Amino acid sequence: MHYKKNQYSEGFNICGLIIAGGFIFWGINTLLGGFRPFRDFWWIGFIFLLIGISILIGQIRAVTNRDKLRNVVKYEFEQNPNASIEEIVGKTKISRKDVQAIILDLKARGALRGQFSGETGQMKPIPTQDQVPAQEKSTFCPNCGTPVSKDGAQYCSYCGATI
Report which of 99, 40, 113, 28 is spatially closest to residue 70, judged by C-alpha positions.
99
According to DSSP, residue 156 is labeled -
146 contacts 104 by C-beta, under 8 angstroms: no
CA 21 to chain centre: 23
- Asked whether residue 104 falls in the same domain as residue 28, the answer is yes
According to DSSP, residue 114 is labeled -
Report the sign of the C-alpha dihedral through residues 5, 61, 15, 9, in that order: negative
Please report the pLDDT score of residue 52 as a whole number. Answer: 96
Q: Looking at the 3D structure of the chain, how many domains does it have?
A: 2
pLDDT tier for residue 121 given thresholds of 50, 70 and 90 = confident
Q: What is the pLDDT of residues 51-96, one digit of tens each?
A: 999 999 999 988 888 888 999 999 988 888 888 889 998 998 898 8
Domain boundary among 113, 128, 145: 113
- Asked whether residue 143 falls in the same domain as residue 107, the answer is no
- Asked whether residue 22 falls in the same domain as residue 89, the answer is yes
- Asked whether residue 57 falls in the same domain as residue 102, the answer is yes
Residue 37 pLDDT more than 90? no
pLDDT tier for residue 125 given thresholds of 50, 70 and 90 = low
Q: What is the pTM of this model?
A: 0.62
Q: Is residue 1 part of a domain?
A: no
- Residue 160 zone, left/alpha/beta (φ > 0; ψ -120 to 50; rest): left
- Asked whether residue 80 falls in the same domain as residue 31, the answer is yes
- Higher pLDDT: 50 or 35? It is 50
Task: Quote the domain boundaries for residue 144.
Answer: 117-163
